[in-house]
């Protein structure tokens, strides 16, 4: 056979052989080895464990929050039950008869009360002086002798400025005679007299009388035509004092800087007159 023919047959054989062989797909991953497979399994197992742990922590947090909310709900329920009981108690009390203290105290009027004479020494700590006072259960309110009464405003509230209205014979710590005194106005009262009506300011001052130390409401008006610069009415005496009109100065005069000693009060007490108060 000719050499040319042999070469032709060899070429055809190679061509047919090339068509029968399929080259490998370059996009497919290479086959995993056993070591790579085990490593991948361990990675997946670790990721799954972390997810499970995170889910467990979240579940525990939700359980804790639920327990807190449950406790809060129980506490609110307990408070509501107590509130209902208080409301029921108040409603029951509102149906009870109201007891007036004045009516109940008639049988034992002097029990626990301080006995006062018709005239007593009183102390005014905020002013710094002692003054003579007439104790009169016939008067409703207490009053303090005042002059140059001037109303003004302070911080949006009504105040009053005044001086003590005193006669030369009135016993007082001398340095306070011309001092200005300021106090807030508690209220005003209308006074009806034969000469007409007038409105007087009412102030609140700390006052001492023997063992008594009370804040007393005083109306301010000029009392220089009377013998006592202070009048104590029944509002002051209510529940704390009672009066024996046959006695005078049952309690020692208080002492203040610049004033006379208490033992010198007897000489000042002898000059009293049995005046008639308004």
At residue 225, the pLDDT reads: 94
**Is 42 domain-assigned?**
no
Pairwise CA distance, residues 210 & 120, whole Å: 9
**Is 37 domain-assigned?**
no
Q: Is 98 exposed, middle or buried (0-12, 13-18, 19+ CB in 10 A)?
A: exposed
Pairwise CA distance, residues 192 & 187, whole Å: 17
**Is 1 domain-assigned?**
no
Contact partners, residue 239, CB within 8 Å, separation at least 6: 101, 105, 113
Pairwise CA distance, residues 231 & 16, whole Å: 142
**Is 101 domain-assigned?**
no
Q: Are residues 75 and 181 in the same domain?
A: no
**Is 264 domain-assigned?**
yes
CATH at residue 207: 2.40.70.10
pLDDT digits (tens, 9 = 90+) for 85-130: 777 666 655 555 545 444 444 333 466 899 999 999 999 999 999 9
**Is 138 domain-assigned?**
yes
* Domains held by the chain: number: 2
Specify whether the CB–CB gap between 183 and 203 falls below 8 A.
yes
Range of the domain at 70: 64-94
pLDDT digits (tens, 9 = 90+) for 43-78: 888 888 888 888 778 888 887 777 777 777 777 776
Pairwise CA distance, residues 193 & 38, whole Å: 115
Torsion-angle region of 50 (φ positive above 0: left; ψ -120 to 50: alpha; else: beta): alpha
Q: Are residues 159 and 76 in the same domain?
A: no
Q: Are residues 243 and 116 in the same domain?
A: yes
Pairwise CA distance, residues 227 & 230, whole Å: 9
**Is 274 domain-assigned?**
no
Pairwise CA distance, residues 239 & 100, whole Å: 13
Which residue did the predictor score with more confidence, 188 or 73?
A: 188
The string of DSSP codes covering 34-81 is HHHHHHHHHHHHHHHHHHHHHHHHHHHHHHHHHHHHHHHHHHHHHHHH
**Is 168 domain-assigned?**
yes
The string of DSSP codes covering 244-268 is ETT----SPPP--TTS--GGGHHHH
For range 182-210, the mean pLDDT? 90
Angle CA 187–193–197, to nearest 5 = 50
Q: Are residues 196 and 254 in the same domain?
A: yes
Spell out the SS3 assignment of 98-138: CCCHHHHCHHHCCCCCEEEECEEEEEECCCCEEEEEEECCC
- DSSP structural state of residue 223: -
At residue 27, the pLDDT reads: 65
Pairwise CA distance, residues 240 & 233, whole Å: 12
pLDDT digits (tens, 9 = 90+) for 132-150: 999 999 999 999 999 999 9
Of the candidates 250, 259, 244, 127, the one whose C-alpha atom is nearest the C-alpha of residue 183 is: 127
Q: Are residues 257 and 180 in the same domain?
A: yes
- Supply φ then ψ for residue 17, to 5 degrees: -65, -40
- Residue 179, helix vs strand vs coil: coil
At residue 32, the pLDDT reads: 65
At residue 21, the pLDDT reads: 46
Q: Are residues 90 and 114 in the same domain?
A: no
Q: Are residues 118 and 84 in the same domain?
A: no
Q: Are residues 247 and 165 in the same domain?
A: yes
Of the candidates 228, 224, 240, 221, the one whose C-alpha atom is nearest the C-alpha of residue 101 is: 240
Q: Are residues 69 and 174 in the same domain?
A: no
Q: Are residues 83 and 221 in the same domain?
A: no
Q: Are residues 70 and 133 in the same domain?
A: no
CB atoms within 10 A of CB 200: 17
Q: Are residues 87 and 172 in the same domain?
A: no
């Amino acid at each position: 056979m000719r050499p040319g023919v042999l070469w032709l047959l060899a070429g055809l054989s190679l061509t047919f052989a090339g068509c029968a062989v399929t080259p490998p797909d370059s996009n497919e991953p290479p086959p995993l080895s056993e070591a790579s497979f085990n490593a991948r399994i361990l990675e997946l197992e670790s990721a799954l464990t972390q997810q499970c742990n995170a889910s467990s922590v979240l579940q525990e947090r939700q359980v804790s929050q639920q327990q807190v909310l449950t406790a809060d709900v129980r506490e609110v329920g307990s408070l509501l039950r107590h509130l209902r009981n208080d409301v029921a108690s108040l409603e029951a009390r509102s149906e009870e008869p109201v007891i007036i203290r004045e009516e109940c105290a008639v049988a034992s009027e002097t029990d626990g009360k301080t006995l006062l004479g018709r005239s007593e020494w009183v102390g005014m700590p905020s002013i710094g002086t002692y003054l003579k006072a007439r104790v009169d259960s016939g008067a409703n309110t207490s009053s303090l002798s005042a002059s140059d009464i001037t109303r003004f405003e302070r911080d949006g509230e009504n105040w009053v400025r005044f001086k003590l209205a005193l006669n030369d014979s009135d016993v007082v710590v001398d340095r306070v005679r011309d001092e200005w005194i300021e106090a807030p106005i508690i209220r005003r009262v209308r006074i009806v007299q034969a000469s007409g009506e007038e409105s007087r300011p009412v102030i609140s001052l700390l006052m001492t009388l023997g063992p008594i130390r009370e804040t007393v409401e005083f109306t301010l008006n000029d009392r220089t035509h009377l013998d006592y610069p202070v009048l104590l009415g029944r509002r002051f005496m209510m529940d704390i004092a009672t009066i024996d009109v046959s006695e005078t100065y049952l309690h020692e005069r208080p002492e203040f800087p610049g004033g006379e000693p208490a033992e010198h009060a007897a000489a000042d007490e002898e000059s009293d007159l049995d005046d008639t108060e308004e």
